[in-house]
């Protein structure tokens, strides 16, 4: 601990993660200063609309961050200091006690990158430095330069796509646009609740809310689809150009319209569905949505492979998205291929991004994307960036290597935060450094030509240009 206390943090230094001169040149000349297109995240648009000023470092940094919560629980920190009633300062101090023990976890790098990039603090966070860092950051957070919009500008963000339920009014997005905020903040269509059949009572409550938003009564399966289409029109009018879906896996469960109707009527009456009935309805809804995405020219995203809410005791106490999920081991390939083929058969497969959470599926996902590229769009089918548990140095490198071997890295649309925190944008920097080091190492090993003009163009395309062209926001 003494060594850590005495030294300034080298994390975030000029050549952090860049191990040779080629990598350094690529990063500093072709990647570092590019704008950020954050095409999928979970930051609350309400806090951008109000230009929220956070009270303290705990509120902006620890609240809602289940990555940090998991680490603290592993260290034996009582839940009162994580999601409980302990003071903000005491919660922060428990996090400061945890940080030195996160060595080799991405949290160690992210924590110090965020302190450096937002607060210009280059000390390691330890129990000994906690008081000073907490006070200094809190003072800065009270200034206008640290409101949510200022933080976004500070990181050179050009586009943000949030994650929004079809029943959402989008009033916060409208407020942001009316204010003339110089960063595009666009809604993302996330209809997971429309096929979350686990609890029939909750599902029917949701359909009532969706019907109210769509100004229609949802009493049949066709009503549901029309309500979703109506909300898609509304989202489109408000700048939405992409959807997102969080699923264990994609399903291919074609069935008769009669069965689809009867299964919907069954759950609408309050009766639970069997697993097979749920899969049939999910498949049917997703194919209807997929055709409509294609018609509207949207991009569809599928985040696949998470095993969620595994701890029932903590689920009852804290609810979902609180740090009790893991990598799942579902069979992905066959149903995914059939699902995409169903849409592609009639040329109704939209631009698509697939993200996997199980690293054993890397090759499956990379090769699946290649199955449905048709020459109509450059990089139409994307094997998406390393996600969630894989969003760390090894996971990023693995995703880049598999994509390079099985597809064309040069067509990749790059990084996204997938975060709930306004302090997460240095993850784009982290990705860019890893990418440049990977390519720079290949050049140093004579595996790629030392043509830094060309390889620099490839790097800048991956970090910004490809996404800018692909989404055309």
User: Cβ neighbours of residue 370 under 8 Å, at least 6 residues apart?
Assistant: 381, 406, 407
Q: Which pLDDT value is given to residue 2?
A: 46
- Do the Cβ atoms of 439 and 458 come closer than 8 Å? yes
The rounded distance, in Å, linking the Cα atoms of 132 and 422 is 22
Q: Which pLDDT value is given to residue 3?
A: 45
Q: Which residue in 145, 186, 148 sits closest to 50, CA to CA?
A: 148
Query: Please, which residues bridge with residue 303 across strands?
Result: 246, 355
- Do the Cβ atoms of 398 and 6 come closer than 8 Å? no
SS (H, E, C) 356-409: ECCHHHHHHHHHHHHHCCCCCCCCCEEECCCCHHHCCHHHHHHHHHHHHHHCCH
Q: How many residues appear in the chain?
A: 473
The rounded distance, in Å, linking the Cα atoms of 463 and 330 is 31
Q: Which two tokens stand for residue 257?
A: 């319209």
The rounded distance, in Å, linking the Cα atoms of 351 and 445 is 36
Q: Which pLDDT value is given to residue 124?
A: 97
Q: Which pLDDT value is given to residue 9?
A: 79
- Do the Cβ atoms of 323 and 73 come closer than 8 Å? yes
Q: Is 88 exposed, middle or buried (0-12, 13-18, 19+ CB in 10 A)?
A: middle
The rounded distance, in Å, linking the Cα atoms of 143 and 51 is 12
The rounded distance, in Å, linking the Cα atoms of 325 and 212 is 32
Sheet-wide strand order for 351-356: 242-247, 299-304, 351-356, 381-383
The rounded distance, in Å, linking the Cα atoms of 455 and 83 is 46
Quick one: CATH architecture of 148-424? Alpha-Beta Barrel (3.20)
191 phi, psi to nearest 5 deg: -90, 30
Q: How far apart are the first and last CA of the chain?
A: 48
Reading the chain (473 residues) residue by residue, the pLDDT tens digits are: 444 445 577 899 999 999 999 999 999 999 999 999 999 999 999 999 999 999 999 999 999 899 999 999 999 999 999 999 999 999 999 999 999 999 999 999 999 999 999 999 999 999 999 999 999 999 999 999 999 999 999 999 999 999 999 999 999 999 999 999 999 999 999 999 999 999 999 999 999 999 999 999 999 999 999 999 999 999 999 999 999 999 999 999 999 999 999 999 999 999 999 999 999 999 999 999 999 999 999 999 999 999 999 999 999 999 998 999 999 999 999 999 999 999 999 999 999 999 999 999 999 999 999 999 999 999 999 999 999 999 999 999 999 999 999 999 999 999 999 999 999 999 999 999 999 999 999 999 999 999 999 999 999 999 999 999 999 99
**326-327 and 306-307 beta bridge pairing:** antiparallel
Q: Which residue in 207, 235, 233 sits closest to 221, CA to CA?
A: 207
Q: Which two tokens stand for residue 407?
A: 């597809």
Please name the residue that has the structure tokens 């034996």.
76
Helix (H, G, I), strand (E, B) or coil at 242: strand
Q: Could you count the other beta carbons within 10 Å of the beta carbon of residue 311? A: 14
The rounded distance, in Å, linking the Cα atoms of 234 and 165 is 12
Q: Which pLDDT value is given to residue 417?
A: 94
Q: Which residue in 277, 294, 401 sits closest to 345, CA to CA?
A: 294
Q: Which pLDDT value is given to residue 8?
A: 76
The rounded distance, in Å, linking the Cα atoms of 61 and 466 is 31
299 phi, psi to nearest 5 deg: -100, 135
Helix (H, G, I), strand (E, B) or coil at 304: strand
């Amino acid at each position: 601990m003494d060594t850590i206390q005495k030294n300034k943090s080298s994390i975030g230094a000029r050549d952090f993660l860049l191990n040779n001169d080629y990598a350094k040149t690529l990063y500093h000349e072709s990647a570092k200063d590019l704008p950020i297109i954050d095409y999928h995240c979970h930051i609350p648009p309400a806090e951008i609309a109000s230009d929220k000023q956070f009270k303290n470092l705990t509120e902006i940094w620890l609240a809602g961050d289940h990555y940090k919560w998991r680490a603290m629980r592993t260290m034996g920190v009582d839940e009162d200091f994580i999601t409980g009633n302990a003071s903000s300062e005491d919660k922060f101090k428990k996090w400061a006690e945890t940080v030195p023990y996160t060595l080799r976890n991405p949290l160690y790098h992210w924590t110090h990158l965020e302190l450096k990039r937002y607060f210009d603090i280059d000390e390691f966070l330890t129990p000994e430095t906690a008081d000073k860092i907490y006070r200094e950051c809190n003072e800065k957070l009270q200034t206008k330069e640290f409101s949510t919009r200022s933080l976004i500008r500070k990181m050179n963000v050009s586009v943000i796509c949030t994650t929004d339920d079809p029943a959402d009014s989008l009033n916060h997005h409208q407020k942001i646009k009316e204010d003339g905020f110089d960063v595009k903040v666009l809604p993302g269509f996330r209809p997971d609740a429309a096929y979350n059949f686990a609890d029939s009572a909750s599902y029917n409550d949701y359909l009532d809310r969706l019907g109210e938003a769509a100004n229609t009564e949802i009493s049949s399966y066709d009503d549901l689809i029309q309500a979703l289409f109506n909300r898609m029109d509304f989202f489109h009018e408000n700048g939405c150009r992409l959807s997102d879906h969080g699923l264990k896996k994609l399903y291919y469960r074609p069935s008769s319209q009669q069965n689809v109707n009867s299964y919907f009527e069954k759950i609408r009456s309050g009766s639970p569905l069997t697993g097979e009935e749920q899969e049939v309805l999910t498949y049917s809804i997703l194919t209807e949505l997929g055709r409509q995405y294609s018609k509207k020219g949207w991009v569809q995203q599928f985040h696949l492979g998470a095993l969620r809410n595994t701890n029932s005791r903590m689920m009852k106490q804290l609810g979902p998205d609180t740090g009790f999920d893991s990598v799942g081991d579902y069979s992905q390939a066959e149903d995914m291929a059939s699902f995409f083929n169903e849409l592609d058969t009639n040329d109704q497969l939209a631009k698509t991004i697939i993200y996997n959470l199980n690293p054993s599926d890397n090759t499956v996902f990379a090769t699946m994307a290649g199955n449905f590229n048709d020459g109509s769009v450059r990089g139409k089918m994307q094997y998406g960036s390393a996600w969630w548990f894989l969003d760390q140095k090894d996971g990023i490198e693995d995703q880049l290597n598999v994509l390079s071997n099985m597809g064309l890295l040069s067509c990749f649309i790059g990084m996204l935060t997938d975060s709930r925190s306004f302090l997460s944008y240095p993850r784009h920097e982290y990705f860019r450094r890893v990418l440049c080091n990977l390519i720079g190492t290949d050049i140093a090993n004579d595996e790629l030509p030392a043509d830094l003009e060309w390889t620099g163009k490839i790097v800048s395309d991956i970090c910004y240009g490809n996404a800018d062209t692909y989404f055309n926001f």
